[in-house]
Amino acid sequence: MKKKLQLILLLIFIVTSVKAQVELKGKVTDADTNQPIPGVSIKIVGSDRGTVTDLEGTYTLSIEEEASLSFSFIGYKTQTVDVNGQSTINIQLEEDIETLDEVVVVGYGAIKKSDLTGSISSIEADEMIKAPAADPMQSLQGKVAGLQVLNGSGRPGAESNVRLRGITTLNDNRVLYVVDGVIIEGGIGFLNSNDIESVEVLKDASSKAIYGTRGANGVILVTTKTAEVGEGGISLSSEYGVENIANKIGVMSGPEFANYINDAEPGTYNNISALPNTDWQDEVLQNWQPIQTHTISAKGATEKLSYYISGGYFGQEGIVPKSDFERMTFKLNTSYEVKPFLTLGTNLTGININATNPPGVVNSLIRAWPINAPYNDDGTFGEVQGSNPLAAVEFNNSTRNELRALGNFYAEVYFLESFQFRSSYQFDIINNKNRSFTPEFFVAPLQQNEESNINIGFGESRNWIFENTLSYNKELGRSTINSVIGYTAQEINSEFISGGRRNLIGVDPSLWYLNAGASDYQVNANGGATSALTSILFRTNYAYDGRYLATLTFRRDGSSKFGRNNRYANFPAIALGWNISNENFYPQDFIINNLKLRASYGLNGNQNIPGDDQYSRIGSGINSVFGFNESLINGASFVDSPGNPNLRWETTSEYDIGIEFDVLESRLQGEFDYYNRTTSDILVLLDLPGYAGAGAFVQQRFNAATVNNNGIEFALNWVDEIGDFTYGFGVNGFTNNNEVTDLGEDIGIADNIISGDLGNGQRVTFTEVGMPIGHFYGYKVAGIFQNDEQLNEFPRLSQQGVGDFIYEDVNGDGVLNDDDKTFIGSWIPDFVYGFNFSVGFKGLNISADFAGQSGNSIYNGKQAVRPNLVNFEDRFLDRWTGEGTSNTDPQASLTGINYQPSDYFVEDASFFKLRTLTVNYQFLRTLLDNINFNSISVFVRGTNLFIWTDYSGYTPEIGSGNSALGGVIDNGVYPTTRVLSTGLNMTF
């Protein structure tokens, strides 16, 4: 075999070397526009020699007289011409409508959009919202039907809260991110959005099944930039902006607060005008803080080598002092065709983050007493009830550094024409370091630090995946087959080490090390975690004549998080599609020029739990103190949470029916889907019987409960141009019904789960069959007791008096008690939507993006939690002060019965906001010819300019935490900001 090959190569060499050579020149242009096309691939038929057109579309090639040349470029019909001794060949390429068909990344492969059977939203880089933010996901808010993106924190570097098609599980609802094939633990806030080529959101069971393992909550595939043959150049993009607080929370002023206290405790303050009047939000928050992002990149490609390289910087100071965030990113994507049958490549990303951990003042901004002054007369910090936030800022020195490298090395082997074997080693290594120094200080008895202290923590996480896939792509007559089979193994190991000391020999940052502390007190900790996963995957996509489509997907996973008996699970899926508009009977000139129906059904899994939940464990450090000279003596016993050896996969079954259509020569593109997903065997932490001896606040992991989500999802986009005037708009959204259909009472679980701790012992969420997950639960306020008559008329709690809330006797039994607590709102929106438009004339373009949601509530926990007497929000100004004064707000009360969980604290958190408004000017090409730039554009942008909402907190965009059971409770968030920015993009 090998000898034969050598012989053939030798023959080719001899044949080619004896032929007469000519020097051939030419130019390739677009048949319609006559514009030159750079990067057109020119190949000598029957050899692997060739060249590429330059920026002017021209080429030169040394070639034998009788050769044939093929000219190909993506989006154009390939042309083949015979040289026949000519020395100049100019070619006009025609656009190929069929191959223009977008290619969509689907996980372990890519498929033509027209052959797609699943529900996938694909967003190209130029379609993503440009907003100054660390997390690229912020760019998808309101952009993808089915995707809820909440940017609920103004903290620099904050990640978005992303949920797909509702709340799938009681447990962790985070979507799975895959960056260049690397499965990420957590979000993608570390990525530079300028490096992203496209984002694919896999939504239905069939699309997700290839990631069966962890696909249930949705999968987001991120593909970073590469260069196509002929592309090349350097580009620079820069944006600089300033941040201001989006809206302050209305709290009582000094006099208002003192009056309120006087109402509750008469005579407390006699000379109110003499009291200080401090607005803590104004005192602490700093406006006009810079936010900036800069990226420089270069890319290029030849037939064999392709590269993309970039460096990026993102910096944000933050409106809370000492909360800055800085990130540097480096990106290198290359591939090299070593042999015609072998390509080697790598995608690498390096990240360095330096950030200051914000001081914990978000709550004290609104709670600190307004009648306390920030400073004493001598300039020292004043004693402030509810903590002096300025002092808290001053004495907070906590930093975080993160170094992260992720990427892959791969080899692709092509053989027998249609086969491709790909082997890829992928890694994601995270190293982080935390350092926190608190000096010795005294502000007040309850705000002091008796000894300076230092705490250091190092952590690392190493995640590797070894992935081997074999693909088969073949067109057989009218059939197209697209198959992949593979095996992957993954291992994640993490470890941390931390230490602390006290009484440092100084306060200078150069001393913020353990060794600068006294040696009499030393604490340290070190631990780790490990988990592994193996998978077999298979998918085949079959298209017949572009009309009938079918996809079969299967993944079998084994997870270390479950015992041997329950370790493996299978996740199959099937999807069917029908391109009706490709049928012969379909009228060619019909207004709907493209029409497709599709349907899918399948199973996805979720195993997003710590690895140890299956084990009952014995831990060290359960210490005791013995001896006349007391010392801490080692003890060991059960680590509180008992294991559940019977844990198994959480499974989501989902069906999806969709229709896609293009109208008016594809000016309007639309998509509708109905989705219905049911998650069962939900992995959830539940309270054990107390007698199980796990201790207080310790829960055990169970497979319990079933949740259903269903709804309709739509996306409509219109793009058109009239002469030089271009315009477009898009609208998308989805509805969601969320219902718990089973809680697993049969396995000894209570018929409800109470959660949503406010931090004061009150728990305000309730999960029960027939209702949405973790809905708010408490009394319904029916009014205010105006007089003694009413007090006797309505059932009430013993502590209630005139001026207090009337709670509704919901079950009508004439007694007010816990049984009258009821549903008082859900945090899960019924409808999430986005809207955008853009208009352009010549180089000028104006675009705007809107996002919104409705039907959801937030429990305003910061108004209810009152362990101490702290400032009040301004709604309490409308208080009841006597018969007839108010039937909605109770009398002044510092604590007690009116703070019972009730719908008084549940606020409508529907919102609609103008996410970004951008005015962009791109300099016309004629202006650029002299200065060698390909393009230059400048823009000004406003981000978070307007929000329409009834919610009284900093933002209604608060998402649920990692457990959905606790709902959305506003216990104080970092204030969100409005950004005004300007920027520049250029390529040359």
Compute the least distance from the CB of residue 785 to other proteins, in Å: 19
Query: Which candidate, 63, 89, 72, 61, places its Cα nearest to that of 37?
Result: 72
Beta partners for residue 549, in sequence order: 543, 577
Query: Which candidate, 106, 104, 107, 119, places its Cα nearest to that of 597?
Result: 119
Q: Which is nearer to other proteins, 754 or 810 (CB)?
A: 754
Contact (CB, 8 A) for 644 and 700 = yes
Q: Cα separation of 862 and 384, whole Å?
A: 18
Q: Which is nearer to other proteins, 142 or 861 (CB)?
A: 861
Other beta carbons within 10 Å of 725:
11
| Residue 733 CB partners (closer than 8 Å, separation 6+) | 145, 713, 714, 831, 832, 833, 834
Q: Which two tokens stand for residue 805?
A: 């809330």
Q: Which is nearer to other proteins, 762 or 790 (CB)?
A: 762
Q: Cα separation of 403 and 433, whole Å?
A: 9
Three-state DSSP state, 515: helix
- Total number of residues shown for the chain: 988
Place of tokens 């306020």: 781
Compute the least distance from the CB of residue 664 to other proteins, in Å: 49
Beta partners for residue 461, in sequence order: 430, 494
Compute the least distance from the CB of residue 473 to other proteins, in Å: 16
Compute the least distance from the CB of residue 892 to other proteins, in Å: 13
Q: Which two tokens stand for residue 972?
A: 């104080």
Contact (CB, 8 A) for 360 and 321 = no
Q: Cα separation of 769 and 752, whole Å?
A: 8
Q: Cα separation of 447 and 115, whole Å?
A: 65
Compute the least distance from the CB of residue 532 to other proteins, in Å: 5
Radius of gyration of the chain (CA): 32
Q: Which is nearer to other proteins, 447 or 853 (CB)?
A: 447
Compute the least distance from the CB of residue 423 to other proteins, in Å: 9
Q: Which is nearer to other proteins, 466 or 586 (CB)?
A: 466
Q: Cα separation of 473 and 539, whole Å?
A: 12
Q: Which is nearer to other proteins, 20 or 696 (CB)?
A: 696
Compute the least distance from the CB of residue 35 to other proteins, in Å: 45
SS (H, E, C) 290-301: EEEEEEEEEEEE
Torsion sign (Cα): 131, 135, 136, 139: negative
Q: Which is nearer to other proteins, 201 or 371 (CB)?
A: 371
Q: Which is nearer to other proteins, 158 or 647 (CB)?
A: 647
Compute the least distance from the CB of residue 778 to other proteins, in Å: 13
Compute the least distance from the CB of residue 798 to other proteins, in Å: 7
Q: Cα separation of 255 and 356, whole Å?
A: 36
Q: Which is nearer to other proteins, 353 or 686 (CB)?
A: 686
Q: Which is nearer to other proteins, 637 or 888 (CB)?
A: 637
Q: Which is nearer to other proteins, 370 or 834 (CB)?
A: 370
Other beta carbons within 10 Å of 415:
10
Secondary element (H or E) of residue 369: none
Compute the least distance from the CB of residue 958 to other proteins, in Å: 25
Compute the least distance from the CB of residue 24 to other proteins, in Å: 36
Compute the least distance from the CB of residue 572 to other proteins, in Å: 20
Q: Cα separation of 540 and 550, whole Å?
A: 8
Q: Which is nearer to other proteins, 529 or 844 (CB)?
A: 529
Query: Which candidate, 21, 68, 203, places its Cα nearest to that of 709?
Result: 203
Query: Which candidate, 667, 623, 616, 622, places its Cα nearest to that of 642?
Result: 616
Compute the least distance from the CB of residue 520 to other proteins, in Å: 11
DSSP calls for 93-129: EPB-TTTTS-EEE-SSSEEEGGG--S-EEEEEGGGSP
Q: Which is nearer to other proteins, 259 or 752 (CB)?
A: 752
Q: Which is nearer to other proteins, 90 or 530 (CB)?
A: 530
The CA-to-CA distance between both ends of the chain, in Å, stands at 49
Q: Cα separation of 571 and 573, whole Å?
A: 7
Three-state DSSP state, 132: coil
Q: Which is nearer to other proteins, 272 or 485 (CB)?
A: 485
Compute the least distance from the CB of residue 530 to other proteins, in Å: 5
Compute the least distance from the CB of residue 264 to other proteins, in Å: 10
